[in-house]
A and B are shown apart, each in its own frame.
Chain A
Amino acid sequence: MKTSGNAAASMDLLFWQQLKNGNEAGLRKLIEKYFNALQNYGYKFLRDEDFVKDCVQEVFIEIWNRRERVAVPESVRAYLLSSVRKRVLREGYRQRINRDDEPADLENDLNFVEFSPEWSVIEQESLAETTRRIADSLNLLPKRQREVIYLRYYQNLERDEIAEIMGVNPQSVSNLLQAAFKTFRDNWVGFFLLVELIKTGSF
């Protein structure tokens, strides 16, 4: 009964094919559909809105420039997210070097950040309270588990797509997700979220 990701995915491939044929409409559709989500993801690594926006923009520019030669990805969404991830990490790292900061190890330097939702925009007080408690428990997770949860739920991705983006095999994604659920249970988030999530361990 869930709205299937398949219809959306095949639309994506259609847009991608248009884009490859030099049709601006395809590019436009993909931008409309994914620019926000891509920015949100990039922002998880580096708290600099302008910088992240530029990175996302450059990803699209590169695709458009090389449109005749880019392959057709299995999942357009995963391909875009993974390009943004790489670019933000690489450019962020470079920016640090240029600022003469001590260049540190890339993986440890730019991490998937802790969640700190913007409270002001969450109008309802009880909702804000629940959001805060969930964010707190999410922040207790190791960073890779946090990223898996983010990609699975916020970006609404399938296991294989997550594996592709994070550069691990699909089984590790399942393991990370299970480990995250377990930590949730141990930390007691609030029985609702907990019970419901565990009940539908569809991975």
Chain B
Amino acid sequence: MRHPDYRNYSVDDLTRDEYFRQWVIDRDSQSGAFWSEWLAENPDCTDKVQVARAFLQALEEKNTALQPAELDQIFNDILHSSQRQEIPFWRTTVFRIAAALLLFIGLGYVSYSFLTKSRAGQPVGSRMASLDDLSPALTSDYTETVNESAEPRTFLLHDSSTVVLYPNGRLRYPNHFAATKREVYLSGRAFFSVKKNPKMPFWVYTDQISTQVLGTSFLITTGETDAKVEVRSGRVSVYMRKDVVKEETTRNNELVGMVLTPNQQVVFSTTEKRLVKSVVEQPITLHPVRQDAYVFEETPVTDVFSLLEKTYGLTFIYDASNLKECYLTANLAGESLFEKLNLICKITRSSYEMVDGQIVIHSKGCENK
């Protein structure tokens, strides 16, 4: 490769030179080798190169370069998330006229049925009807099981995901999964261990919320008026059911959901009509931790918090400067997360609260005045 005479280049020229940019921005090792050699031969240009390089780095701030494998993954995701219909059909005139007619008929029907019969016994039918909109696969060729025993029962699905269905739980799954997603319907309580398959997201529909994962384990509990998702491992997205229906009809691909990580949970209650994220009641340790890791002696409390963050995968928010005089000497092995927190807070004269699935520490500091 022939190179121009970089000696005549200004800082401005350098920042725009592809080969220079390959070195600084793309971290390309071949151009890197060229430039260090060139600098050795032209030591008087060191300052110029230094400034140009620093300038680009100051603007970049963070190296966002992805590994080729990650780009592969992204490329596949983009291809596969896109077998969608072209024109949003609600834009078409035919649809608009039909919608107006339907609305008219619908209003008539609603007022008619409201006037003629009581509304008891109606929910089950309407639930299934709306499930039909969401997932045709779950309303035609499916299997439905109810666990009538007193013991949890384990089911193995075709994709080798497992479901532990608790007593009185009802699980519906298609006899064949659709080509682009795996869908099941749950009412009651179940623990899912989903086999990882990024090309076929796994959806769990319940009456109030829908949960989407690629591969992970989590627990779902539904009741008459509320629903809860607790995450054991991996990442889980939870949506309100109505948002999923909306997305399916408008195909605008902009879902309003919540992303959960291990030891977080989300609760939906019909009264509040929104998703609330928090920490699960009994957080579990994500990695095996040696017993003596939790024996502290004059340990800065911020170190203790980072250890807890690592162990439980939860985010701690605190003011490090405020806590810098706080040291902890204690044996916390074998205690639960909340017992640990209570003790730490007592010793360091602080308190904690849980906000949005994170743990916030309040402290007045530990300086002895």
Chains A and B are bound partners? yes
A142 on interface, CB distance cutoff 8 Å: no
B151 on interface, CB distance cutoff 8 Å: no
How far apart are A162's CB and chain B's nearest CB, in angstroms? Answer: 14
Contact of B82 with A153 in the complex, beta carbons under 8 Å: no
Complex Cα gap A57–B51 (Å): 33
Q: Which of A35, A58, A115, A199 contacts B59 (CB 8 A)?
A: A115
How far apart are B285's CB and chain A's nearest CB, in angstroms? Answer: 24
Say what secondary structure dominates the interface of chain A: helix
Stretch at the interface among B69-77, B91-99, B114-122, B325-333: B69-77
Complex Cα gap A120–B63 (Å): 11
Q: Which residue of B lies closest to A56 (CB)?
A: B74
**Contact partners of A134 in chain B: CB under 8 A:** 51, 54-55, 58
**Contact partners of B4 in chain A: CB under 8 A:** 1
Q: Which residue of A lies closest to B62 (CB)?
A: A118
Contact of A118 with B61 in the complex, beta carbons under 8 Å: yes
B105 on interface, CB distance cutoff 8 Å: no
**Contact partners of B63 in chain A: CB under 8 A:** 118, 121
Contact of B50 with A27 in the complex, beta carbons under 8 Å: no
Scan residues 151-203 of chain A and give those whose CB is less than 8 A from a CB of chain B: 153-154, 156, 190, 192-193, 196-197, 199-200, 202
Complex Cα gap A118–B57 (Å): 9
Stretch at the interface among B11-19, B294-302, B336-344: B11-19
Q: Which of A8, A65, A131 contacts B57 (CB 8 A)?
A: A131
A31 on interface, CB distance cutoff 8 Å: yes
Contact of A64 with B79 in the complex, beta carbons under 8 Å: yes
**Contact partners of B82 in chain A: CB under 8 A:** 61, 64-65
With contacts A3-B19, A65-B82, A150-B59 taken as known, whether A131 is within 8 angstroms of B77 at the C-beta atoms is no
B197 on interface, CB distance cutoff 8 Å: no
A13 on interface, CB distance cutoff 8 Å: no
Q: Which of A36, A57, A62, A127 contacts B50 (CB 8 A)?
A: A127
* 30 contacting pairs across A/B (C-beta < 8 A): A1-B4, A1-B5, A1-B13, A28-B75, A31-B78, A36-B64, A39-B66, A40-B62, A57-B78, A58-B253, A58-B254, A61-B78, A62-B253, A91-B254, A94-B256, A117-B58, A122-B57, A127-B57, A130-B50, A130-B51, A131-B54, A133-B54, A150-B59, A153-B55, A156-B16, A190-B51, A196-B12, A196-B48, A197-B11, A202-B12
Contacts A117-B61, A153-B15 aside, 11 further interface pairs with beta carbons under 8 A come to A3-B17, A24-B79, A27-B78, A36-B65, A61-B253, A130-B51, A131-B57, A154-B25, A154-B60, A192-B51, A202-B12
